[in-house]
Amino acid sequence: MSTKKPATPKSELAGTDTLDRSNTNAKLDSLETFRSDATGQALRTNQGVKVADNQNTLKAGARGPSLLEDFIMREKITHFDHERIPERIVHARGTGAHGYFQSYENHSALTKAGFLRDPAKKTPVFVRFSTVQGPRGSGDTVRDVRGFAVKFFTDEGVYDLVGNNMPVFFIQDAIKFPDFVHAVKPEPHNEMPTGGSAHDTFWDFVSLQPESAHMVIWAMSDRAIPKSLRSMQGFGVHTFRMINAEGKSRFVKFHWRPTAGTCSLVWDEAQKLAGKDTDYHRRDLWEAIEMGDYPEWELGVQVIEEENEHAFEFDILDPTKLIPEELVPITPLGKMTLNRNPDNFFAETEQVAFCPGHIVPGIDFSNDPLLQGRLFSYTDTQISRLGGPNFHEIPINRSVIPIHNGQRDAQHRSTIDKGRASYEPNSVDSGWPKETPPAAVDGGFESYYERIDANKIRQRSESFGDHFSQARLFFNSMSDHEKEHIIAAYSFELGKVEREFIRARQVNEILANIDLELARRVAQNLGLPAPKAGTVQLPKTSLDRSPALSQANLLPADIKTRKVAILAADGVDGAAIDAMKKALKAEGAHAKLLGPTSAPVKTADGKSLPVDASMEGLPSVAFDAVFVPGGATSIKALSGNGVALHYLLEAYKHLKAIALHGEAKQLLDVLKLEVDAGLIVGADTKSFKAFFAAIGQHRVWEREPKAKAVPA
């Protein structure tokens, strides 16, 4: 008797070219009930309840706090928080460092937070920087928002200031956060692109959500491709409260300002770095700390008196808005210094758990609806990632003061609790641990006494309704080269979008409301008709420009920690190398000697000089500037070396300062380049001043139009 199974008819094979869909759909539907098509279906909760409003969290009044009873928001956020294990859903790729924060003075008039009241106190901190979109294996230099999260280990408990390198966000209400992240993440059908937003689902979402316009233009600016983590600003994004010992509350916005200045990569450089050194940002931070170039940031706040809450042309509770510094200056509070690298990446950087709900007395929340949702989401996420509610016992998360409460047991408990009472009040253990009544200073935490008298409602406050004025302010505040980069970024990203109607919607309904010339240029680059007018009437505003928004105005006054490549071959002028290294060291900058190979090079007088790497081993994208010392034999060798010539052309294309010493002037003819403000030719050390001045400007922006034609 034959055991051979009869052949399956081709019409039933779901992978063949001859599949008759009309005959097999019913069978597929009956066998694969897990497949779902949402076409024509109502939006429902996981319990089958139809959703009437998927845009707004339930709040006590349009500007009031979000309510815990909002089961729709909690279900949505809870599901979102647990969609990935164990990698973070967002901010998966990160790097961190230890350091300390020290207050400039006693800020007790502003807050009763102890770490801001004692200028002699050094509060330990751990900082984690990250990209938002990509997984752990993605590149450091992709166009993306960067996370900037700081954990303060204060004597009053752990305080987490969890922010970004941009002062605003894409959405106004936390209920939309899962939608935004789902849209910006790689597309679900092919898991591409990794670490980038240049795809249909992201641009579909943001073109349908005008509230995202301000944040998107920040993401299309140079802010999204920072030169290093050390040269990156940080922002708390939300409006918080500070409360002093007398109970006086003020609204505040947090700012981190790097002492190294704020600057960025150019786009071609960022793309090349993604391939040549995926770990560029984390390597730069690590090496700076190891060399003793400790990164520093000044912490400041914009302070808004409670009575001035409604004094602006925007709502200070709207997380898509910033407060221009021209309206409210930044008050410096203190300085953070990072001076120690982690001992173990996983144990520290990967297991660190941040939550904006980790606050100390003297700091409290506002009713920002995005912040209100984050207070729930972050803790919920850590429970999934770190195996339960005891993530606070992991060493990197552990408070510097002892913890006593009735929260015992659960997974991964490491504390062995003595005593029989795990409840409060108790008399078995003489009532311990006990509550600490609130007091002016050093008392128990007491939430700010805010009166709420409003209806429960799902509604966006009308004061959140202007989505374009600040996006226009940002664009108007940019320098000419920054505007060109924004136009190029929109053109590049939208050029990757397959669906033309999404591109057209972004141009006509978003960009045209920001700036018509911006919209026209992007439309031209995409082959779309240029819009003739915006679709909304923008309100009149008191500010047309804010210089503090442009990175062109945020450069440091020196070239400390900058890196200069010195290119040399046998026969090089050793004295010129020594002079440059000495001059750079005096400025606090660093030099690396690069040769055609990793072998030592010989100077013109026969000395052997060890090199730090070959020119291929440390490419030009790893440096801020290039110096070529003289020496007839060396220059002859470099003139015939394709790697060396490409090195200089690439540095030129990326608008970096280049200094040619002595016979190196001959390279101008070989490369067919002309001297400019950043291409310095000199025979002695006097020319170093001009070279250093060009490095201090970060880039030679006037070279950019000409450099675009240079192959590299």
Q: What pLDDT is recorded for position 34?
A: 54
Question: Does residue 130 register a pLDDT over 80?
Answer: yes
- CA-nearest of 215, 208, 179, 218 to 508 is 208
Q: Of 310, 282, 285, 307, whose CA–CA distance to 296 is shortest?
A: 285
Worst-scoring range by mean pLDDT, 35-49, 427-441, 526-540, 558-572? 35-49
Same fold for the pair 475-553 and 563-707: no
Alpha carbon distance 306, 311 (integer Å)? 10
Q: Domain boundaries in the chain?
A: 8-37, 58-397, 475-553, 563-707
Type of residue at 35: R
* DSSP secondary structure string for all residues of 676-710: BTTEEEESSTTHHHHHHHHHHTSS-GGGHHHHTTS
The class that CATH gives domain 58-397 is mainly beta
Q: What integer pLDDT is reported at residue 15 of this predicted model? A: 36
Of 572, 521, 505, give the one whose Cα is nearest residue 205: 505
Amino acid at 297: W
Interval 560-575: pLDDT, tens = 999 999 999 999 999 9
Rounded Cα distance between 555 and 431, Å, is 58
More confident residue, 605 or 443: 605
Tokens standing for residue 708: 């675009």
Q: Which residues are marked as active site?
A: 91, 164
pTM: 0.90
* pLDDT tens per residue across span 569-593: 999 999 999 999 999 999 999 999 9
pLDDT at 48 over 80: no
Across residues 600-619, what is the average pLDDT?
A: 97
Contact 135, 263 (CB under 8 A): no
**CATH architecture group of domain 475-553:** Up-down Bundle (1.20)
CATH number of 563-707: 3.40.50.880
**DSSP label of 588:** T
Q: How confident is the model at residue 403 (pLDDT cuts 50, 70, 90)?
A: confident
- Report the pLDDT averaged over residues 40-52: 78
- Looking at per-residue pLDDT, the higher value among 434 and 529 belongs to 529
Element (H, E) at 476: helix 469-477
241 band by pLDDT with thresholds 50, 70 and 90: very high
Per-residue pLDDT tens over the stretch 256-293: 999 999 999 999 999 999 999 999 999 999 999 999 99
